[in-house]
Structure 1
Amino acid sequence: MSTPTRSALLAVFVVTLLGACSKPVEKAEDIRPVRALKLAAGNADTVAEFSGDVRPRIESRLGFRVGGKIVARKVDVGNLVKRGQVLMQLDPQDLRLAQLQANAAQKAALSNRDLAKAELQRYQDLRAKNFVSQAVLDAKQTAFQAAQASLDQAVAASQNQSNQTGYTTLVSDVEGVVTSVDAEVGQVVAAGAPVVKVAQSGEKEVVIGIPEDQLAMVRQVSDIRVHVWADPGKELSGKLRELSPIADPASRTYTAKITLPPEATDVKLGMTAYVAFRAKIPKAMIKVPLSALVRQQNATAVWVIENGAVKLAPVQVAGPSGNDILLAGGVTAGQTIVIAGVNLLKNGQKVTILDDDLAVRDAALRSSESGTPK
């Protein structure tokens, strides 16, 4: 056997020997990193918060009582107006002509009445002397009464036409601020068509939408707090004035109107506001972030960490508390749950806790917040 052949056989033998001595590669265990929280119980408030906008308690849509062409606009959006202030004017020419016609008809009726009255007096004298019959006198009496009725009709028509002429000037009957102008100079408007909106000075309210699953809670809660986005550090007490019995067909929420207190002078119309409904919880609850909850088979649950692995624990939700959720059962104080990464876990999954020191601080902070209403 030649030397190259012996070298090749030796190489094959060594490779075979090494393959027989090697062990199979073990599969690495899947350990998921998660954020965790150690649970703590405490007294808390149920808080449901909804956003809305500030609106006037009463907003009047003003329009002319007669139709015509607008010749003057005296206000702009945002102007403050007083009672009796002129807002717009119509062209009064046609109504003035009608007024002249009504005045002329009144004068004609007055003349006819005076003539009938004079004739009645004359025929009364003739009847006293027995120069005319009673039937003739009765006819003159009837003519006088008809002339008097015609005069009364003409006077009423003239007064009505005078009122119509005065309706060409639109004045504000309230004090407030102009929120909308819906017509311009040169436009022809019909009688009663809204041309200006005026928000009355005084009460303001926040209009919000309530989901149907929160209606019962809203009706029972009396502690209502309001703050505006422009000044989040200032809280105002509110009062539920109106709750619609019918859901909005577009948003499927129920419109609620929250009255603001008189001292809310810094709150401007149109501002974004947040309304919080607070209800005292008589017993201790466990507060967890919303991110800790998972939905499994039509039930709400959390992942509990025990001996480095997780298991699913169904829980009973008591209600919201700000951005957190209050749990009424299913877990106990002292247990550790997953608060981030819940959608990547399965029963028995081994996990490693990230930012362990931060989780401990979160638990202490959440426990202290549970004893103090927000």
Structure 2
Amino acid sequence: MIQRSLFSTGRLTALVVSAVALGLTGCDKAKAPETPVRAVRTMVIADTGGILDREFSGEIRARVETRLSFRVPGKITARQAELGQSVRGGQVLAQLDAADLRLGQEAARAGLMAAQAQAQQAAADFKRFQDLRAQGFISAAELERHQTMLKSAEASLAQARAQSQVQGNQTSYSQLTATAAGVITSVDAEPGQVVAAGMPVITLAHDGPRDVVFVIPEDLSAAVRPLVGKPGALKVRRWGSDRWVPATIREMAAAADTVTRTLQVKADVGALDATLGQTATVALTVPARIREGLRLPLHALTEHQGKSVVWLLDPKSMTVSRQNVITADVSGNIVLVAAGLRPGQEVVTAGAHVLTPGQKVKRLVDKAAADAAAGAVGAQSLAAPATAVK
């Protein structure tokens, strides 16, 4: 009787424990973890047309820059010009050892004197033989022979005179002089060095107009070339300044560089207050590869299954959805979207990497700030809204 009572009590205890466990399990299923509400940064996209504002780094250079060299070979004995020095036209910049050149000049002068003497002797002989022919003492053939000798002597004299002048010029070439007033921007040879004729020794930047020189990618060639010669086709500002100055493209390379595949462009900076060699920023507005498009910050794009996507925000439900897009040009941190979006949609620009479809989000800025950011994108460079993902 006692054993049967104990068995019943134990069975009842087990049933109670099982019921409690089942109750606890049911409570856990009822309390599913809540999906966190993400804080995101958004912007309302605007129609920008099919243009992009591009900025390039350039260098201020002289309109005319000459690499000066000696016209004769020799050993440099002195250099009077230093890097950065301002010089005037005709000023001596470097000197060669002219000893051999002077000896050559003296030899040419001696040859000239000998040719003059021979020409004078030939002229006197021809005159005497003319008299003898008139008296009938010599034949006409003999007179013609002496006339030919006179012409040969006169030709030799002209040759010696020209050779003497050439040798005199060669001696004067031992001095390297400035072709115009300007500034020395490069020195490539030092005293004691033996240089060949035509080897660059000094680079002279002429005083006068200044250009900004920069390079553009090969794919912009068709867009930039029509701007050559148009006043104010681009804007330039020197490094450290916020003042933009209109500039005119003066010339553009006909072919791309074989190594960098870029084209060099030179633009007249006009009134820009800049010094030689100073860095400048060039702003250029060019059409994109498509006629219509929308701008987005590059960090608004993510990748899903090998495709470019963005996250769209539904302002009513404050949920996000994934949207496939097709991109075109990229300029810095700005991407031009060719298809997949329309003006007025609100795009997540920060926090996109942690989102899932249908997830609840919240803005850390009001919609007015997002619209202001979108307006900044429609101007020159896209300014991101001032909120960050937490």
Report the TM-score when normalising by structure 2: 0.80
Question: Aligned residue for 2:249?
Answer: 240
Mapping for residues 97-112 of structure 1, pairs under 5 Å: 97-112=103-118
Question: Aligned residue for 1:278?
Answer: 285
Unaligned runs of 5+ in 1: 2-8
Q: Distance in 2 between matches of 1:368 and 1:98?
A: 74
Question: Aligned residue for 1:205?
Answer: 211
Question: Aligned residue for 2:240?
Answer: 230
Give 3-state SS (helix, strand or coil) of 1:112's partner: helix
Mapping for residues 347-366 of structure 1, pairs under 5 Å: 348-357=357-366, 360-366=368-374
Residue 43 of structure 1: CA displacement? 8.3
Q: Distance in 2 between matches of 1:111 and 1:18?
A: 140
More contact order relative to length (CA 8 Å, sep ≥ 6): 1
1:341 and 2:351 matched = yes
CA contact (8 A) 1:113 1:144 kept: yes
Give 3-state SS (helix, strand or coil) of 1:76's partner: coil
Report the TM-score when normalising by structure 1: 0.83
Question: Aligned residue for 1:6?
Answer: none
Q: Deviations over 1:274-328 (max 9, x none)?
A: 21123699x9986543322345677654310122332233456686789645657
Residue 246 of structure 1: CA displacement? 3.0
Question: Aligned residue for 1:289?
Answer: 297
Question: Aligned residue for 2:22?
Answer: 20
Give 3-state SS (helix, strand or coil) of 1:305's partner: strand
1:259 and 2:268 matched = yes
Sort the Cα spacing of 1:250 and 1:143 in 2 relative to 1 into closer, same or farther, 3 A. closer
Question: Aligned residue for 1:173?
Answer: 179
1:95 and 2:93 matched = no
2:199 corresponds to which of 187, 193, 198: 193
Mapping for residues 69-218 of structure 1, pairs under 5 Å: 69-218=75-224
Sort the Cα spacing of 1:30 and 1:43 in 2 relative to 1 into closer, same or farther, 3 A. same
Residue 203 of structure 1: CA displacement? 2.6
CA contact (8 A) 2:309 2:322 kept: yes
Identity of aligned residues (%): 38
Residue 239 of structure 1: CA displacement? 1.8
Question: Aligned residue for 1:312?
Answer: 322
The size of the alignment, in residue pairs, is 362
Q: Distance in 2 between matches of 1:244 and 1:69?
A: 37
Match for 1:293: what amino acid? L
- Aligned CA RMSD, in angstroms, stands at 3.5
Match for 1:302: what amino acid? V
2:259 corresponds to which of 247, 250, 254: 250
Stretch of structure 1 that moved more, 41-50 or 179-188:
41-50
Q: Distance in 1 between matches of 2:374 and 2:331?
A: 12
Q: Distance in 1 between matches of 2:210 and 2:298?
A: 33
Q: Distance in 2 between matches of 1:253 and 1:131?
A: 85
CA contact (8 A) 1:43 1:372 kept: no
CA contact (8 A) 1:38 1:360 kept: no
CA contact (8 A) 1:287 1:366 kept: no
CA contact (8 A) 1:302 1:314 kept: yes
CA contact (8 A) 1:292 1:302 kept: yes
Give 3-state SS (helix, strand or coil) of 2:244's partner: strand
